[in-house]
Structure 1
Amino acid sequence: SPTAGTASGGPRCPRPGPEDEALLSGLAADGAGGLWAVGVAYGEQGEGRPLAEHRDGAAWRSVPAPHTAGRGEALDGVTALAPDDVWAVGASSPPDGTGTRPLVLHWDGAAWTREEVPDVAGQPHAVTGDGAGGVWAVGEREDATTPAFSLHRDAHGTWRLVPPADGAAGEGASFFDVTRVPGASPGGPALWAVGSTLPRLDPPWRPVVQGYGIRGPGA
């Protein structure tokens, strides 16, 4: 049997992804033996499109994901709350690379669909459920002089932009991951996000950790 710090034996999985150039950056288990991997696939002209791969316990298959023609799009993070409730986040950019906007996709057990989210110049890197029917996505803005951002979807399906707490409100702040804390004490942070900040845009980078209550960021 596998031991800590070693890879388990067994048959190799087929390489997920199409034959053209691609990379995977996010992985999540759906709680029913399935896995989702997300990333980006590049066409002949170098344009990126969202890549979603699913493993049902025996084999990988590519699952079509929405793509806006004329834009470079990539998925960075994914979370699976259930086999029919999977969220993936990333970026959608025009050919010149400016004007990046959040890309948020949802899998309902049958197909991926695009979510309409607040219009903010930037991209989320990670996503998680909050245990109360909501979803949080965290990331960075396109303008390095502005603070990190968080997007929250409540249990009714409404998205909103959430201002960061003071520690992540500085220049060059970015969030790269977020996780829920099951059984968090009442009034305490139910989620934590991590990232970095670059005060006055002058190295060195400094770590940022931010706690969130269900209603918004906290200490």
Structure 2
Amino acid sequence: MTKSTSLGRHTASGLAVAAATAAAVGLVASPASAAEPWESLTVPTTYASISVLPFDNKDAYAKSVPFCFDECSSSPKLWQRTGGTWKQTTPPSDAEVGVLAGTGVNDLWVFGSRYAATGSYRFNHYDGTKWTSNLNPEPKNAEVLDAEAVSRNSVWAVGNYRATDGGWHPMATHWDGSAWKTTKLTGIEGQFNALDVNSDTDIWAVGYRDKGDTTGDYQPLAMHYDGTEWREVPVPETPGQMYMLNEVISNGPNDVWIASGSKVSQGNGKTWTRHDTPASWPKFAYHNGQLYAGLYGSPKLVRWNGTAWVQDTSLTQGAQVDQLTTTPDGSLYAVHSEGNSVFWYNAFLSRLAPPTTG
């Protein structure tokens, strides 16, 4: 799940994917636009893919990856938004900007790779003024692919752990305010791609298990943490097919959504029910009690009405949604874009304000 405290693989790297037919997944007719319109915000830079880590309606961080041709550098850039104005921020010197997580402009974690002969994975912290470099206790082995902050003293991250035997294993690690403590699931070949943190005692992580039978024979992996142990939750398999989970969102331990491509399943703690989206790579977020999915393709935004996905036409710009994320005040942010990433590309940033009460 892409929340205000996490930014990782939720921003996909490809561009538009051909959509499945609406009838095949039970898409219902498009309703009128949302009562509250989307507010259009400035992006930190142009001609680049954008992903954001907002904290409120004025402050945020963002990562941009410029498009380049032939001989050029496309290293990610780091941006800070203060009072509504973007400025470029000098990233840590020992790693590329990868996954972002944090609770505010003076509490930012950057997880990235240092490209050297042996390779290493860096955990860096920024207090708004200075960087504290590589806090990863095992930089040659522990790679983070998604992260989420509960508070300044509680940050969760998942990815993979590369063992001495050359195998990759799912990994979860936790910052307790003074050190990172890592859980290595060495009995499983594979990795975690995404997590969703409701609290320190209610966490979901999803990815894949490498069955090892044939090349590309991956099966879905979902695990839940209850504050004491990680427990695998069985997910229906598709034997012989590549099926890697890349998105998860939960509304409590008995209401969880997982996705792989356009394959989407909802779990109630006992069984899983398929509710595939009409286009691929859904990015989930809750707003005003409703589950939204931003998609690559047409339609680009849908809402779950309890029985089916409903097209939402209120987000007018762009051809696909690259990221959905929420902030503690209940605002919903969308990064959406159009272009083919070769000759032209436009990114947009929009905000849907929290619902008014009273």
The TM-score with structure 2 as length reference comes to 0.47
Instruction: Report the CA distance between 1:58 and its aligned residue.
Output: 3.1
CA distance in 2, matches of 1:169, 1:51: 36
Q: Does 1:180 align with 2:250?
A: yes
**Partner of residue 126, structure 1:** 194
Q: What CA deviation, in whole Å up to 9, does each residue of 1:26-56 have, x standing for no partner?
A: 222236852222132233x2x3333112222
Q: What CA deviation, in whole Å up to 9, does each residue of 1:78-97 have, x standing for no partner?
A: 1111111111111122578x
**Partner of residue 218, structure 1:** 272
**Partner of residue 103, structure 1:** 171
Distance 1:84 1:63, change over 3 A: farther
Q: Does 1:161 align with 2:229?
A: no
* One of 124, 131, 155 as aligned partner of 1:60: 131
**Partner of residue 219, structure 2:** 147
Instruction: Report the CA distance between 1:121 and its aligned residue.
Output: 0.5
Q: What CA deviation, in whole Å up to 9, does each residue of 1:98-152 have, x standing for no partner?
A: 5211122110011112124362110001122134722111112234324110121
**Partner of residue 90, structure 2:** 14
Confirm or deny: 8 A CA contact 2:218 2:244 kept in the other structure. no
Confirm or deny: 8 A CA contact 2:150 2:200 kept in the other structure. no
Confirm or deny: 8 A CA contact 1:32 1:83 kept in the other structure. no
**Partner of residue 260, structure 2:** 195
Confirm or deny: 8 A CA contact 2:150 2:199 kept in the other structure. no
Segments of 5+ residues of structure 2 without an aligned counterpart are 1-38, 45-80, 274-358
CA distance in 1, matches of 2:131, 2:174: 19
Segments of 5+ residues of structure 1 without an aligned counterpart are 197-206
**Partner of residue 98, structure 2:** 25
Confirm or deny: 8 A CA contact 2:169 2:185 kept in the other structure. no
Which structure has the higher relative contact order (CA within 8 Å, separation 6+)? 2
The TM-score with structure 1 as length reference comes to 0.72
CA distance in 1, matches of 2:226, 2:130: 34
Distance 1:31 1:195, change over 3 A: farther
CA distance in 1, matches of 2:144, 2:151: 19
The percent identity for this pair of structures is 26
Confirm or deny: 8 A CA contact 1:138 1:150 kept in the other structure. yes
